[in-house]
Amino acid sequence: MSRSELTFNIHDGPVEAIIHGHRCGILRTEDYSNIAQCDTLEDMKLHLASTDYGNFLQNEAHLTSKVITERALEKLVAEFNDLRCNADQPLAEFMDYITYEYMIANVLKIISGARSGRETLELLYKCHPLGIFEGMGALTSATSFEDMYEGQGGLIDSPLGKFFQRTGAFAKRTGSAQQCTSHASASASSHYIVYF
């Protein structure tokens, strides 16, 4: 018996159990058929209550497709974060790289919004929950791109620092918001792919 077989349950057992639990909760073909036959969102809510989705819509008095989408995304993010907290290396690092893509997209959204003068709360609200990281709020309060990159709580101190550190010059670029965002996107994405 190899060493990895002896220590599998120590390192990977809890994560495997969580995955098996989630796998059993996936909607089946007959569930989708029943949902497709529902006439109202309330009917759909009642059907989902009998599945592993259970009560994720329980506290919603007025259902809309937007509310259902938001609650389903919240459930997905909570399950992803739970899995990430229980993961050992190298799975934990792989899951981090999944979130980095969303973080890069959120930062680019903030850069683009800041260049076009949009409200910071609106920008933060539109960010994907898997890409939210500590210090993201500081990016919205930066007065210049140099502050956004190098300031206290800036990109260089974030999990994305390694993707933006070689491209600090993007902050000093002049041009339209679209040109600046395109340059930052191309640079960060290429470094993300190299690290990944």
134-184 pLDDT per residue, tens: 877 777 776 666 667 666 556 777 777 777 654 444 444 444 445 545 545
Record the tokens describing residue 138, joined without a space. Answer: 């500081």
pLDDT above 70: residue 40: yes
Q: What is the pTM of this model?
A: 0.71
d(CA 139, CA 130): 17
| For range 70-96, the mean pLDDT | 88
Answer for the pair 165, 138: CB distance below 8 angstroms, yes or no: no
Of 141 and 51, more confident: 51
Q: Work out the pLDDT band at 81, boundaries 50, 70, 90.
A: very high
Encoding tokens for residue 81? 């974060």
Mean pLDDT (whole number) for 33-60:
83
% of the chain exceeding 90 in pLDDT: 4
- Quote the CA–CA distance of 74 and 66 in Å, as a whole number: 12
SS3 22: helix
